[in-house]
Amino acid sequence: MKSKITIGVVGCGAISNAYFNGCKPYPNVQIVACADLDPARAAAKAKEHGIRACSVAELLADPGIQIILNLTVPKAHAELNLAALNAGKHTYAEKPFGINRAEGKQVLTLAKKKKLRTGSAPDTFFGGGAQTARKLIDDGAIGTPIAATAFMCGHGHESWHPSPEFYYEVGGGPMFDMGPYYITALVNLLGPVKRVTGSTRISFPERKITSQPKAGKIVKVETPTHLAGVMDFANGTVVTIIQSFDMWGHSLPILEVYGSEGSLSVPDPNGFGGPVKLAKPGKGWEEVTLTHRTDLARGSGLADMVQGLATGRPHRASGELAFHVLDVMAAFEEASTTGRHIKMKSTCERPAALPVGLQLGELD
């Protein structure tokens, strides 16, 4: 593909630089403009990256922009995606895909109606750690997957983040903040989820910010901050998951898959690299040489959508995958409230593995 796909960014907060820089290796991705509710912030970001700043309305009305990169706060993801799709533009958003199933479904339905693509972070499963683990499973290194564990445990963001309020609003919490990384990684490794059960709680009704510049502000907690559950995958794997902002310390693994012929330690799904370890019968953990690149960055999923538009193939960080992950995440609180297993109404294709031997900037 020789022609570039033009992209407009909405949301110029802290995560935006990761996308501006992460897209640079991909020759067909061209970010041309940015917008933010704070015009000064958009102007500063535009100057930093040599693009133009404009309003959100101007960005959506610009016929020269083909994809909207949606980096707004979670509560605004679906609203902006819908507006962009109605403006005739493809959309790629930060995670989560929405803060509830209804709005996520709206986005998928409209994209299909408009014959436009929609996608969502995370794209960290493109990285060398996740893709090496995927290849090991696909090659039968651990036999048939039987079980897995996924643990993300800490004590929240109020001690370090400059504006941590949204982490405790609806659409935040450890599941909607970090769960997309873990559940997407598991779907990449194992395929879609069949049913979910779990228990959730709000351990601290209020949080006091101790980071600057909002130190001393009290935040009311609107969403569960500790979630423990079990996911039954369609391939039969039983996965135990804990996502928590309520733990001061722990010694739990991050992500492990246990098979009939071995066990696999998978690196932190919030990154693109990290060590992969394999344990075979009669042997301890041994680090495995990575088969894929670790120098990918955020924006790879967006670049993959661009490549999909060029070739007609599905893109890996698809709306269907993101909605399935949203459906699973919402099921934990539903299971806790109702006291039952929740059968998934959604499903998705397991995203295609990346080939071995790609150069930086290549996805096929």
pLDDT digits (tens, 9 = 90+) for 251-292: 999 999 999 999 999 999 999 999 999 999 999 999 999 999
Look up residue 151 and give its amino acid: F
Residue 239 has pLDDT above 80, yes or no: yes
pLDDT digits (tens, 9 = 90+) for 281-306: 999 999 999 999 999 999 999 999 99
Give strand ranges (E) for 252-334. Answer: 255-259, 262-266, 276-279, 285-288
**Do 43 and 112 belong to one domain?**
yes
Of 241, 269, 288, the residue at which a domain comes to its end is: 288
Domain of 19, CATH number, reads 3.40.50.720
Assess contact for 276 and 288: CB atoms under 8 A: yes
Dihedral-angle region of residue 249 (phi above 0 means left; psi in -120 to 50 means alpha; beta otherwise)? beta
Of 263, 288, 313, the residue at which a domain comes to its end is: 288
Residue 341 lies in a domain: no
288 strand-pairing partners: 276
What tokens were used for 299? 């924006």
Residue 308 lies in a domain: no
pLDDT band of residue 103 (cuts 50, 70, 90) is very high
Residue 21 lies in a domain: yes
Domain of 283, CATH number, reads 3.30.360.10
DSSP H stretches of helix in 121-245: 128-138, 173-190
**Do 93 and 148 belong to one domain?**
no
**Do 27 and 94 belong to one domain?**
yes
159 strand-pairing partners: none
Of 57, 86, 120, the residue at which a domain comes to its end is: 120
**Do 135 and 235 belong to one domain?**
yes
pLDDT of residue 4: 86
Look up residue 299 and give its amino acid: G
What tokens were used for 289? 């040489």
Assess contact for 281 and 1: CB atoms under 8 A: no
Contacts of 330 (CB under 8 A, 6+ apart): 100, 101
**Do 54 and 162 belong to one domain?**
no
Report the chain's mean pLDDT, rounded to a whole number: 96
Where in the sequence is the domain holding 217, given as residue range(s)? 126-288
Residue 191 lies in a domain: yes
Residue 361 lies in a domain: no
Q: Per the structure, how many domains does the chain have? A: 2
Residue 53 lies in a domain: yes
Residue 113 lies in a domain: yes
pLDDT digits (tens, 9 = 90+) for 5-62: 999 999 999 899 999 999 999 999 999 999 999 999 999 999 999 999 999 999 999 9
